[in-house]
Chains A and B, each alone.
Chain A
Amino acid sequence: MIDFGFSLSKSSSIKLDEVDLSLYRRLEEVEPGVRICMGCGSCSATCNASKWSGMSVRKVILDLQRGRDMKEMLSCCMLCGKCSMVCPRGINTRHLILSLCRLYESGK
């Protein structure tokens, strides 16, 4: 192998048939708003915690739908509620985050 000083990143392809959506489904039950997210990213733009943990509700929802881990991002959420104030779809993002924090282990 020749060292080029960089390497290819691992494939991030997702096999949607194999994804474990149980957590997403459980969240849907307590906060149906998660379904109507259109991924505009307003929440990410206002987030206080993004600087510290890369928090973004948009990404959290996306990762959830793809069965990925998003525990790291949630760890710095201050529940300030800015994301719910700017959401054009009117999603109760604070409740979404709180429910997720609660359901996490049991859903995994």
Chain B
Amino acid sequence: MRERFASGFDPFVLPFLIGMVFVLGYCAVGILRILRQLPREDRKRFLVSLVTPSTALANIRDIFLNCLIHVKLWKRNKLLGFMHSSIAFGWFMIILLGHLEVFIYCPERIHLFYYPIFFNYFVAENESTIGGALLFFLMDFFLLLILTGIVLAMVKRARSRLFGMRRTTRPSFLDTIGLYSLWAIFPLRLLAESFTAHISGGSFLTVPANWVFRQFLGNDLNMLPTWWAYSIALGVFMTVLPFTRYMHIPAEMMLIPMRNAGLRIRHARRGFAKVEVLSCPGCGVCIDACPMSVKKANIKDCTVYLNRQIRRGNEKRIEEISDKCLLCGKCEAVCQVGVEGPRLRVAQRAMRRYAINQDFSAIDTSSLVPEAAGKVLYFAGCMTKLTPSIGKAVCSLMRKAGVDFVWMDEEEGLCCGRPLLTAGRFAQAKELVRKNEEIILASGARTLVLSCPICYKIFSEHYRLPGVRVVHYARFFEELVAQGRLQFEKSDIFYVYHDPCELGRGCGIYDEPRRLLGAAAGITEAPASREESICCGGSLGSLTLGFSQREEMTKAALRKLYESKADAIATACPLCLATFSRYSERPVRDLAQILDARTKQTAR
């Protein structure tokens, strides 16, 4: 190998160099700003995690698997996975091999940013070696891999349905520029390397292409312009990158270590939240996932658009989108990057100032304390109070199993605080939590059984109840079955089990209700179940969605459940029960009701 130019420089590298310096500078400033925005203890935690061997290794592994190989995307959709990993991993390998070439053949140039990228222009091949041929082969191989990815990307842009995506995002103007410049980079690289292949060598792609070009182009006049074009495409892409969705490439590399360090969203716009917003690749997977998107008008309220509006600083739309969401959490479950759409929205709601702040300090809890020393306490919650059949069924089952229990809020009770929490009113929710803690601890109960997943989520996450076990009835009854205290007779009705958002995605309880249901009746699965279950539309998470606006969502969720061909629908949430019952053509039952109707009378 021999260098063609003693100066090691040509003006065509300038567009690339400007773009590169700009994007690196932008990211460096961004990292410093985000670090400054983090609360002190979070910052410390993050920096410590970077030098702790276990988390540092996890960071490298996760960045490699998620940013380059796109493992999560492969699991979801092979074609999309191949498209993304071919571009990301191929590009990474080309950069890596470029550096390797410079390191082997002209190590004195390694400090030049542009040398590994434009190696084939600056260096000529004067003897062919096995090592050199292998490097050239790999370069061409990865270029081919990227080009396949680019072709797939072009097809996807025209026909997204082929890739299993019904709807995708509409790119903004700058996104389009970023997209076209990204598409242009690799074909231009192929052209540029082909034009120089007879000087600097090449492999199975570039050498034949060079031969073809030389059949009708008698001179090398096309060489420099194509290298210019290649450099300009790179420069344009990197200059617009911070203002397009391609910002997710550097942002995700920041998000993964931050998440591994255990950071959480503390402020709707700053620190961790900012990194999450920038990490959104705008793929639009959340659009098809969102239960609101059954109405076309609601598509712009999906998480991908929330992120876009936050980046644009469109306050009016940010507020609208944040308040409308049902907080079902499905966008988060399907998100490839792990953007926490619901948390971002709740943090946004928490930023709001109110003229009237609820104050529960005057509530005297002493009149609400039940006598339950050493017993089981049953807390029905507001929603179960409106669906009394569930409360009755839970009590009847406990009686049949011989459980010594007290119904805590049979007459009167306080709300669990979760609705206030989702409305962003953290201080008020906390006050309510404290009040309920007082009542429960004063009752002397050992176990607290809940029949509402909304309550269960806040009880298991935010309540501090030393010595009291908090349990959802699905888990509680399963234990009673295991102890032989409850037995069921299987009915011949087939139920499809609907995972309530708060119980499934919210608390990770998927299997217990299914096992119980399977013991008392036939059970089938809906096409979208478990993590991908569709919200019933009744969620308290949404602040602004009115009664009539929810109807279509409920009906769409029901249609998916009907696809399972079940006779009836089972769920384990009073709110789902009430919402589905309104529109369902098939019977809807709570798990407790089904179980209660099918108990076998034991010797007891």
Contacts and interface: CB of A to CB of B under 8 A. Distances in A.
B432 interface: yes
Interface in A18-72: 33, 46, 48, 51-52, 71
Contacts of A71: 356
Contact of A78 (B362, B415, B545, B575): B415
Interface in A48-105: 48, 51-52, 71, 74-82, 84-87, 90-92, 94-95, 98, 100-105
A106 interface: yes
Contact of A79 (B357, B383, B386, B425): B425
Interface residues of A, number: 32
A84 to B, nearest CB: 8
A74 B356 contact: yes
Contact of B382 (A75, A81, A91, A106): A81
A67 B381 CA distance: 34
Interface in B404-440: 412-415, 417, 419-420, 423, 425, 432
- Interface footprint category on B: 35 or more
A94 B543 contact: yes
A92 B543 CA distance: 8
A102 B355 contact: yes
B12 to A, nearest CB: 58
Nearest to A87: B547
B412 A51 contact: yes
Contacts of B357: 101
Contacts of A75: 356, 358-359
Given A33-B546, A78-B432, A105 B355 contact: yes
B387 to A, nearest CB: 9
Contacts of B419: 78-81, 94
Nearest to A50: B412
B546 A101 contact: no
B356 A101 contact: yes
A95 B543 contact: yes
B358 A76 contact: yes
B548 A90 contact: yes
A48 B415 contact: yes
B385 interface: yes
A64 B2 CA distance: 86
Nearest to B435: A78
Nearest to B547: A90
A100 B356 contact: yes
A6 to B, nearest CB: 29
Given A78-B420, A82-B385, A82-B386, A95 B544 contact: yes
Nearest to B323: A95
Contact of A77 (B358, B383, B412, B540): B358
A81 B358 CA distance: 15
A78 B413 contact: no
B360 interface: yes
A80 B415 contact: yes
Given A79-B419, A79-B420, A82-B382, A98 B543 contact: yes
Nearest to A79: B419
Nearest to A51: B412
Contact of A52 (B356, B362, B425, B578): B362
A48 B382 contact: yes
Nearest to A30: B544
Given A95-B544, A98-B423, A79 B360 contact: no
A76 B360 contact: yes
A92 B547 contact: yes
B433 to A, nearest CB: 11
B543 A52 contact: no
A59 to B, nearest CB: 15
A105 to B, nearest CB: 4
A91 B178 CA distance: 46
A96 to B, nearest CB: 10
Contacts of A91: 546-547
B354 interface: yes
B40 interface: no
A90 B360 contact: no
A74 B24 CA distance: 52
Contacts of B383: 81-82, 85
Nearest to A48: B415
Given A79-B415, A79-B420, A79-B425, A106 B355 contact: yes
8 contacts: A51-B412, A78-B415, A81-B540, A82-B386, A85-B578, A91-B546, A101-B355, A105-B355
- Give the 7 A-B residue pairs with the shortest CB-CB distance, closest first: A90-B547, A78-B415, A105-B355, A104-B355, A80-B415, A80-B382, A101-B356
Given A78-B360, A90-B547, A102-B352, 18 more contacts: A33-B546, A48-B413, A74-B356, A74-B358, A76-B360, A76-B363, A79-B415, A79-B419, A79-B423, A81-B382, A90-B548, A92-B544, A92-B545, A92-B547, A94-B540, A95-B546, A101-B354, A106-B355
